[in-house]
Structure 1
Amino acid sequence: MSTNTPFSILDLAILKKDHDASDAYSRSLDLARHAERWGYNRFWLAEHHNMPHVGSSSPTVLMGYIAQGTQRIRVGSGGIMLPNHSPLMVAEQIGTLATLYPGRIDLGLGRAPGTDQKTAAVLRRGRMETVQEFPQDLEELQQFFSADNLDAEVRAFPAEGLTVPIYLLGSSMDSAYLAASRGLPYVFASHFAPNYFQQASAYYQNNFQPSTNCPKPYLIACVNVIVADTDDEAQFLASSFYQMALGIIRRRSYPLSAPVEDMDQIWSMQEAAALKHMMQYSFIGSQATVKAGLENFVNRHKIDELMVTTNLYDHKKRLYSFELTAAAIQSFQADHLVNNHA
């Protein structure tokens, strides 16, 4: 394991029960400001549509909001779902952000719709085949950023010539193949799609083709983390996360609700089993418990960077969880450094 494994945040601007999107955005910015002080590397925002309790339907707008309100932390899309958009418009929007906030903007790209199929059809104006055009759209997008595009009939301003890091996101094998062949960093959504994580990450690492901007594989894994002073408190707080995540199984959008003592009053046995399988890459407990779990995860899978997502009802407890998470990661990094010099 690297002694300085970066750690970052994925945020969806989840709405709390009986609160609006404005509250969610304010909490996201407050988190980003604290995260900057605690040593987090990036703050990424995901694209979702037609979900009343997910506030990140427009990640590029939120990226500008977060970047303007912070000073150093990198801000990015985790991700922009490229089949929903014109590569030209993505280049223009990200190029604008990269011009406003030089050296701080990341472009994470995914091929999933980030919504249901009916909404995807509206987004894509009925052209559902755009998902099959993802490799070509990626190449077109990269060309718009290239300084070599100056003689093209269609150019993207102010993106042209800017160096904006591009990351491919995935939850199956498809993006692992593409990221490896194109020499791009790869981000796996292990926080909700564990089934292909080991296969995809191993394929990517073993078949990576070096590129100018990425000479060796760079694997980021996203995981759920909830830390509190004790294991019992963390498990109690996690019930808010479980209630929200039930929406994935029930195909509904649920807000963040207050924690409960007994989840068995809310979910069925089948739902509980399905959710725990889906969320198997979750690290919930005290700082010591989470430190041990994350250290083992990083070492076992040769993770280059951790991306953490934490959804708690109480904003102060959510901040505290992220603070303890940073301390846990920094602690096992320090242990590794000491062991290397022993």
Structure 2
Amino acid sequence: MPSASGRRKPSRSASAIVADKERGRHELMVDAGTLDAAAPAGAGGLLASSPFTVGGHRWRVRYYPNGDCTASKGWVSIYLFLDEDVAEPVRARFRLSIVSEARALFFVKFKEELLSHPEVQHDFTSRTSWGYSKFCQNKVLASLVRHRGLDRFSIRCDIVVLNGFRTEEEAPSAAVPPSDLHKHLGDLLQSGRGADVVFEVGGEAFAAHRCVLAARSPVISAELLGAAGGGAPAAGVVRVDGVEPRAFKALLRYAYTDALPEMDKEEEDAILRNLLVAADRYGLPRLKTICEDRLCMILDVATVEIVLALAEQHHCGRLKEACLQFLAAPANLRAVMSARGK
């Protein structure tokens, strides 16, 4: 006899390794007058933001309106600066852009991006900066500002500080069983419980539920159930012409379960052909495609001409192509011609 411990289900757990990161944004508001061509170049022209904290570290945005060195004179230089001493490099991803305030309809304010550079990643050591010595030409930015009638603009820094990785325990997920709705609806159809309409097809009667069929096909709702509701007898019997009983039974099964019933190999071809016609008639495109696909796989000499005519009539391009490929084989074509002559 197995022990109690041997019958226990194995325990399951999960964990995940995630990046420990913190996002932040700082905007440095700048007076447009700083773009004056007479602004000093190099260290003397440095304008810096107030310090801000992201990821537990202190940062500043550094702005040089006329370049941070002789080589970049006439350009705007912008950097992100780590304003503290650190024992280990601090890894950060950041994106620098120049934005302005604009107004949309009803005086709603929004920020419009004038210039930007792609996001970059850098490992910052103590009191170092990283950015662009030539972010944009001074005169280009000045022209944009004048064109929009701005008296100021903002330098925006979007930053993500990466503090390594950490392990997190994940809550165990329940094993969700697959849906069995189709089974219950199939049982409902087979039992006839609560049926409120009966279809008479080729001398056979099929009980069904108006609400299910109306939900599956607006054409059935309008042509069949609408007729039953308007002038049919009280019993709710609807006569259906032009569909074989076997095909109509398969159509109902599909409407309730989204699948076709098992079919005898000897009858499959005939049922599928009639079912394709019914699917096209009652606006069930997925069912029509299923029939088309299965007919493509069971083409034979005896039925290929009938199926080809059916494909033409009901606009089944894939089925038509399969028939033509079947007939393109010399042996198949000879067999069809021979059968036609008998």
Question: Highest Rg: 1 or 2?
Answer: 2
Structure number having the greater strand percentage? 2
TM-score by structure 2 length?
Answer: 0.18
Name the structure where helix makes up a greater proportion of residues: 1
Q: Give the alignment's TM-score, normalised by structure 1.
A: 0.18
